[in-house]
Amino acid sequence: MEADYVIVGAGSGGSALAYRLSEAGKKVVIIEHGGSDWGPFIQMPAALSYPMNMGLYDWGMSTEPEPHLGNRRLVTPRGKVIGGSSSINGMVYVRGHARDFDHWAEQGASGWSYADVLPYFKRQENWHGEDDGADAAWRGHQGPLHVTRGPRENVLFEHFIQAGAAAGYPVTMDYNGAQQEGFGPMEATIWQGRRWSTANAYLRPARKNGNLKIVRGLARKVVIENGRAVGVEYERKGEVKVLRARAEVVLAASSLNTPKLLMLSGIGDAEHLKAHGIEVLAHRPGVGANLQDHLEIYMQFAAQEPVTLFKYWNLWGKITVGARWLFTKNGLGASNQFEACGFIRSDKGVEYPDIQYHFLPLAVRYDGKVAAEGHGFQVHTGPMRSKSRGKVTLRSANPADNPVIRFNYMSHPDDWAEFRKVVRLTREIFAQAPMQPHVKHEIQPGTDLQTDEQIDSFIRDHAESAYHPCGTARMGRADDPMAVVDPEGRVIGVEGLRVADSSIFPRITNGNLNGPSIMVGEKVADHILGRRLPAENVEPWINPNWQTAQR
């Protein structure tokens, strides 16, 4: 089989890329190891804790023991299914702050400033938030990706937002518009009660035009002849085949599997490749380096009143919610329950937010284990711009082996200072009058943990990944020795090969990564097609007192 473009990975970046290329009349084949996303565990938004814990849909990767987190191994779910991680994630939609992308451009990713990427965010979106009075000019209205807001019927959502305001923070009605900083409603990739993954948004429409095919199989390596990528070697049902690309090969296999594939193909740090008996075709020491993530803790509070979702956290409650969703696509099953959020700055002198809050009207973990205290609520929170950097390396030359993942979490001393601020600032918000009728007491960390040492110990034992890995094939100038791709997404040192996923982020963005990963697919498609949407020079809201005040 042959195609104009062979893409590895049917996830957030790969799906958007395939949609735009096939729309332009190109013949596209995606190689995807995972299977169908059909079924209630993926499609029902409230069931989000299930697919990321199911081997059927998840690659089953975890970190090596993390030395600064008590040598714990942290799970790192990645979607092994049509739609990739957009089919198993929390469905939260955050573009990132405008300054994130300006920083990318300053680091050598020219053409990726906020003015450059905003038109692509707008092109991908079909936004349904106008009723809240937000600035519609910043948003897209005809894109394939539906972006909605939950009904916020539970009183806790509004009271959390009001508590942020009472603590002196701004309220923002659209953190994806002009003003990210503040407390307000959270947005999600949910449409008509279903998870609106990139499989639903991009792949299903693209397959109808006859230009896109999806092939099941495990990608083993990029086939490179005379310095040019000409196809992908993959394995299906024990048989090894090659899918040839007439034009280009694009890797969109995730920030954990894309560097693995590059290295298996002979692109990476020469010494590391030689150690695994792999012929070096391009010495790029940046492959697998610059690994970043968001680390978070769950700050949990026991509730004074039975207004939380705990009343549904039993077999009969789950059956009731599930049955209503199955027949009507509405009710509690139609929401991810992340319906209120906050973005704040940790200190004066910080130009734009570096702490994020996801509020949830239930005290529960991602693996579905509920807090022992019954009725409660929580925020997922942590610093957005950790200075720690990790690495993805090969475990062996066997493509079936997961890579070695070392995030090196909390290896920079600033991370500890920032995380302590997170704990203390969060306690202050939950002590405000709007939350006082609801807070019975703090479950975790617990009010007896007050000193730096006690808070550090809690972080060491309880911090979890927010599942936002990125940065392992960093975009930069072609003469930057640690850059892996140039600002067109082209792998430096090899012809006909690009990357179009979160691997290329020079630095992690502010918030959840699904939105910017889709934007990368959208924008790289235009680089391939030799076209560009005109830049939009808009000025984001920055707190005018940021140099002198924390809020």
Count of CB atoms within 10 A of residue 53's CB? 15
Please indicate if the annotation marks 81 as binding a ligand.
Answer: yes
Asked whether residue 164 falls in the same domain as residue 302, the answer is yes
Residues 218 and 271 in one domain: yes
pLDDT of 131 above 70: no
Answer yes or no: is pLDDT of 1 > 80. no
**Three state DSSP letters for 491-544:** ECCCECEEECCHHHCCCCCCCCCHHHHHHHHHHHHHHHHCCCCCCCCCCCCCCC
Q: Which of 308, 446, 471 has the alpha carbon at shortest distance from 376? A: 308
Identified catalytic residue from 103, 358, 468, 527: 468
pLDDT of amino acid 64: 98
- Residue 512 resides in a domain: yes
Helix (H, G, I), strand (E, B) or coil at 234: strand
Domain range enclosing 368: 151-185+295-383+411-462
DSSP 67: G
Assess whether 265 and 319 both reside in one domain.
no
Q: Are residues 438 and 323 in the same domain?
A: yes
> Annotated binding residue at 91?
yes
The answer to whether residues 330 and 454 belong to one domain is: yes
How confident is the model at residue 135, as a pLDDT?
A: 72
Other beta carbons within 10 angstroms of residue 497's beta carbon come to 25
Q: Is residue 302 situated within a structural domain?
A: yes
Pull the structure tokens for residue 481.
């020795």
Question: What are the tens digits of pLDDT across the range 469-515?
Answer: 999 999 999 999 999 999 999 999 999 999 999 999 999 999 999 99
Which value, to the nearest 10 degrees, does the dihedral of the CA atoms of residues 419, 471, 341, 173 take? 130
Mean pLDDT calculated for residue range 208-225: 97
Does residue 61 have a known ligand-binding role?
Answer: no
Is the residue at 126 inside a domain? Answer: no
Q: Is residue 203 a part of any domain in this protein? A: no
The answer to whether residues 405 and 74 touch, using CB atoms and an 8 Å cutoff, is no
Does residue 425 belong to any structural domain of this protein?
yes
What CATH number is given to the structural domain containing 521?
Answer: 3.50.50.60
- Residue 423 labelled as part of a binding site: no
How many domains would you assign to the chain? 2
Do 262 and 245 have their domain in common?
yes
| Residues 452 and 489 grouped into a single domain | no
**Does the residue 281 lie in any domain?**
yes
Confidence of residue 371 (pLDDT cuts 50, 70, 90): confident
Confidence of residue 344 (pLDDT cuts 50, 70, 90): very high
CA pair distance 75, 464, nearest whole angstrom: 9
Rounded Cα gap, residues 19 and 10, in angstroms: 11
Residues 342 and 327 in one domain: yes
Q: Which pLDDT value is given to residue 133?
A: 60
Task: Answer whether the bond into residue 506 is a cis peptide, omega within 30°.
Answer: no
pLDDT recorded at residue 365? 75
Pair (267, 347) in one structural domain: no
Q: Is 44 annotated among the ligand-binding residues? A: no
Shared domain check, 308 and 422: yes
- pLDDT reported for residue 132: 59
**Cα–Cα distance, 196 to 217 (Å, whole number):** 24
Residue 468 is among the residues annotated as catalytic for this protein: yes
The answer to the question of residue 260 being in a domain is yes
pLDDT tier for residue 369 given thresholds of 50, 70 and 90:
confident
pLDDT at 153 over 80: yes
Q: Report how far apart, in Å, the C-alpha atoms of 50 and of each of 88, 130, 170 are.
A: 8, 32, 35
Q: Are residues 219 and 339 in the same domain?
A: no
Residue range 84-114, pLDDT digits in tens = 999 999 999 999 999 999 999 999 999 999 9
Bridge partners, residue 359, by sequence = 340, 379
Q: Are 262 and 491 in contact (CB under 8 A)?
A: yes
Name the nearest CA neighbour of 100 among 491, 402, 455, 470: 470
User: Is residue 86 in some structural domain?
Assistant: no
**String of b and e for 523-549 (b: at least 16 CB within 10 Å)?**
bbbbbbeeeeeeeeeeebbebeebeee
Q: Residue 69 gets which letter from DSSP?
A: G
Instruction: Say whether both 325 and 431 belong to one domain.
Output: yes
Q: Which two tokens stand for residue 127?
A: 């936004």
| Least confident among 115-124, 311-320, 401-410, 453-462 | 311-320
What's the CATH code of the domain at 441? 3.30.410.40
Q: Which residues contact 125 (CB under 8 A, 6 or more apart)?
A: 139, 140, 141, 143, 145, 147
CA distances from 108 to 103, 136, 278 (A): 9, 31, 30
At residue 32 the predicted structure's pLDDT band, cuts being 50, 70 and 90, is very high
